[in-house]
């Protein structure tokens, strides 16, 4: 993600403060789909001058520039994904773990349903129980 930002020249107009850089470093290659709160808790440990507002604003900027994807799969909090390639997600309804479903899922909309829309993309959300939560449920 950091490399992509550099290649795309996305850093122009993006002030590289130490706070922002530590947010970027934390997100780079991160596959846990963290929330703003989770990101804040981790980066504030290394960077005591970090504020939640900085995390929140930086995330918004990154989403706007297309460097980070915002996920709404978790109804409780927005989740962030530095992997902006086409892929889908599944969420565990118990522990709210979000996992990747890599690649494309062939999907066609019945003729006439899309009306005059041009389809530019899609995102499929699967929900269920992860292996750990499934085991715990069985024990109850
Ligand atoms: Zn789970
Ligand atoms: Mn993902």
Cβ–Cβ < 8 Å for 109, 73: no
Read off the pLDDT of residues 27-82 as tens digits, 9 standing for 90 and up: 999 999 999 999 999 999 999 999 999 999 999 999 998 999 999 999 999 999 99
Claim to verify: residue 96 and residue 135 sit in the same structural domain: yes
* Ligand 2: centre distance to CA 130 (Å): 16
Contact 27, 82 (CB under 8 A): yes
Ranked by mean pLDDT, the top range of 13-17, 40-44, 113-117 is 40-44
**How many angstroms is it from 128 CA to the middle of ligand 2?**
16
Give the number of the ligand closest to the Cα of residue 101: 2
Q: Do residue 70 and residue 24 come from a single domain?
A: yes
Same domain flag for 67 and 105? no
CATH number of residue 41's parent domain: 1.10.10.10
Residues 127 and 109 in one domain: yes
pTM: 0.86
Q: CATH number for the domain including 111?
A: 3.30.1490.190
The residue segments making up the domain with residue 15 are 2-80
What separation in Å is there between the alpha carbon of 112 and the centre of ligand 2?
Answer: 31
Question: CA-CA distance, 67 to 83, in Å (whole number)?
Answer: 8
Query: 45, 63, 80 — which closes off a domain?
Result: 80
Domain boundary among 80, 99, 115: 80
pLDDT confidence of residue 105: 87
């Amino acid at each position: 993600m950091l490399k992509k930002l550099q290649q795309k020249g996305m850093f122009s107009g993006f002030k590289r403060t130490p706070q922002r850089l530590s947010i970027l470093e934390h997100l780079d290659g991160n596959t846990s789909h963290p929330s703003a709160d989770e990101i804040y808790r981790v980066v504030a440990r290394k960077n005591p001058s970090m504020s939640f507002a900085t995390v929140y604003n930086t995330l918004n900027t990154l989403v706007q520039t297309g460097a980070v994807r915002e996920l709404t799969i978790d109804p409780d909090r927005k989740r962030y994904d530095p992997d902006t390639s086409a892929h889908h997600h599944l969420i565990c309804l118990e522990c709210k773990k979000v996992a990747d479903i890599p690649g494309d899922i062939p999907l066609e909309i019945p003729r006439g349903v899309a009306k005059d829309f041009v389809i530019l993309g899609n995102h499929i959300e699967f929900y269920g129980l992860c292996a750990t939560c499934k085991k715990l449920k069985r024990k109850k």
